Amino acid sequence: MDPQTGYAFIKRVGHPEAKSRGWGYEHRIVMSDHLGRPLWPDENVHHINGVRDDNRIENLELWSKSQPCGQRVEDKLAWALEIIERYKGDPYVVERREAKRKLKAVPS
């Protein structure tokens, strides 16, 4: 355990979340294993109950550091799906998307 931060470390040599000598933050390794992939650079793992060494998966949430930062990924996804549903058939959006596609197709 890191006495300054309160986060637990575990040794997992070769794990994508492990740093030098195979040690990594347990909460990041647990979440990475749960997802079945390494965490992306803009992802954080949040302890729901605030206890930094309680690394049960049910106490961990995946958060994104992308804008707006500090939000749960599932909340951002729900918001994104809502926006997609709202604008998917909007003539302005369709027109702008088509105009951008045509601009990209023109060689410079």
User: Angle at Cα 73 formed by Cα 71 and Cα 74, nearest 5°?
Assistant: 110
Domain of 89?
A: 71-108
pLDDT, residue 69, reads: 67
Contact 9, 24 (CB under 8 A): yes
Interatomic CA distance for residues 17 and 36, integer angstroms: 12
pTM of the full structure: 0.67
Statement to judge: residues 39 and 80 lie in one domain: no
Statement to judge: residues 60 and 8 lie in one domain: yes
24 beta partners: 10
Q: How many domains does the chain have?
A: 2
What average pLDDT score do residues 18-43 get? 92
62 beta partners: 45
Statement to judge: residues 55 and 100 lie in one domain: no
Statement to judge: residues 5 and 50 lie in one domain: yes
pLDDT at 50 over 80: yes
pLDDT at 23 over 90: yes
Tokens of 69: 């930062």
pLDDT at 76 over 90: no
Residue 63 or residue 66, greater confidence: 63
